[in-house]
């Protein structure tokens, strides 16, 4: 899928609405006959996210995530391994695959005050649309002037949900209902077999750079920048329900008086380990977190 775009708008009733666009080139490889190794591989090349106004995308585009290459795999070849200090997802083979996410270049994320407000407005709009669709689930007006069927916008002027009801004759309705019934029976019988459970997930990256920007009023300056170098994170979803992460943390704050960056956190090699305990009769579920760090 070349130059694929996912566009989420704040208000679809206006062509000059704010929007968030995800753009990437996706390469998907599915190998059902090699389930014991890597049955699924998804490569997202030049993945980028930016906000803009739909009426003038090129002039108003502001980057949120710079172009980055992401590799997502289901790996059944290597799995959980017991270690002395931690348990990673690199060891004894078992049937359930592990979800692996690799960032092959530095991941740069920039987030501003207006971006956060835009995300909140989009979330509120989507919530209104979902509530409206739930309240009127069986409302499907038919437009006979459309050969292929009728299209209805659900949820008001800012709706993103479109439903389609095809036009068919009485005989076609009977045949269609029989086909749907047969398909439902087939789907019900194969639903359990199609479920894929994950042993856990891993995330690796050379560097993650997060920058918070102050764009209130007439300002447009950075506030703080946090960098995670040599990031590695794993979490077990089946057995121990524990996980661990380690990275080298560096943070800077922007000094407006001298128009330059100043160190906020010196290079610090940090390891975080967490363990989720099952609920008992005396207490509920709890999470134990241990943090260990050394100055580089």
State pLDDT tens for residues 201-221: 999 999 999 999 998 877 888
Report pTM: 0.68
Q: How confident is the model at residue 284 (pLDDT cuts 50, 70, 90)?
A: confident
Distances (CA, A) of 166 to 138, 145, 172, 235: 14, 12, 11, 45
Check if the beta carbon of residue 96 is closer than 8 Å to that of residue 238: yes
pLDDT at 231: 93
Question: Tokens for 163?
Answer: 């439903």
pLDDT at 217: 77
Query: Residue 158 in 3-state DSSP?
Result: coil
Window from 16-20, 30-34, 62-66 with minimum mean pLDDT: 30-34
Q: How far apart are CA 275 and CA 286, in angstroms?
A: 8
Per DSSP, 215 falls in state -
Res. 193: pLDDT tops 60: no
Q: How far apart are CA 280 and CA 141, in angstroms?
A: 52
Q: How far is CA 92 from the centre of its chain?
A: 29
More confident residue, 152 or 131: 131
What average pLDDT is seen over the chain?
77
Burial of 147 (0-12, 13-18, 19+ CB in 10 A): exposed
Res. 294: pLDDT tops 90: no
Work out the average pLDDT over 95-99: 80
Work out the average pLDDT over 164-190: 48
pLDDT at 44: 93
Res. 260: pLDDT tops 60: yes
Res. 63: pLDDT tops 60: yes
Q: Please list, in sequence order, all residues whose beta carbon lies within 8 angstroms of the beta carbon of residue 149, skipping any fewer than 6 positions away.
A: 142, 164, 165, 166, 167
Work out the average pLDDT over 235-250: 89
Res. 90: pLDDT tops 50: no
pLDDT at 269: 94
């Amino acid at each position: 899928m070349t130059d694929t775009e996912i566009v989420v708008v704040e208000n679809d009733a206006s062509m000059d609405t704010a929007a968030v666009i995800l753009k990437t080139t996706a390469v998907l490889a599915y190998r059902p006959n090699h389930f014991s190794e890597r049955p699924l591989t998804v490569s997202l090349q030049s993945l980028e996210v930016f906000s803009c106004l739909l009426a003038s995308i090129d002039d108003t585009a502001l980057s949120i995530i710079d172009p980055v290459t992401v590799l997502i795999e289901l790996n059944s070849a290597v799995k959980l391994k017991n270690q002395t200090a931690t348990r990673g997802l690199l060891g004894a083979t078992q049937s359930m695959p592990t979800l692996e996410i690799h960032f092959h270049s530095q991941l740069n994320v920039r987030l501003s005050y207006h971006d956060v407000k835009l995300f909140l407005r989009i979330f509120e709009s989507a919530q209104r649309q979902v509530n409206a669709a739930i309240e009127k689930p069986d409302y499907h007006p038919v437009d006979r002037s459309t050969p292929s069927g009728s299209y209805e916008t659900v949820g008001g002027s800012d709706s993103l949900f479109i439903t389609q009801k095809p036009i068919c004759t009485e005989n076609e309705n009977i045949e269609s209902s029989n086909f749907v019934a047969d398909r439902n029976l087939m789907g019900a019988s194969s639903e359990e077999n199609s479920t894929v459970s994950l042993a856990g997930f891993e995330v690796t990256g050379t560097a993650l750079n997060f920058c918070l920007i102050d764009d209130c009023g007439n300002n447009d300056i950075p506030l703080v920048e946090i960098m995670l170098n040599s990031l590695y994170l794993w979490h077990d979803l089946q057995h121990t329900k524990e996980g661990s992460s380690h990275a080298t943390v560096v943070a800077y704050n922007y000094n407006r008086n001298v128009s330059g960056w100043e160190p906020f956190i010196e290079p610090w090699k940090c390891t975080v380990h967490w363990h989720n305990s099952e609920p008992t009769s005396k207490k509920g579920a709890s999470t134990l977190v241990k943090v260990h760090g050394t100055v580089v």
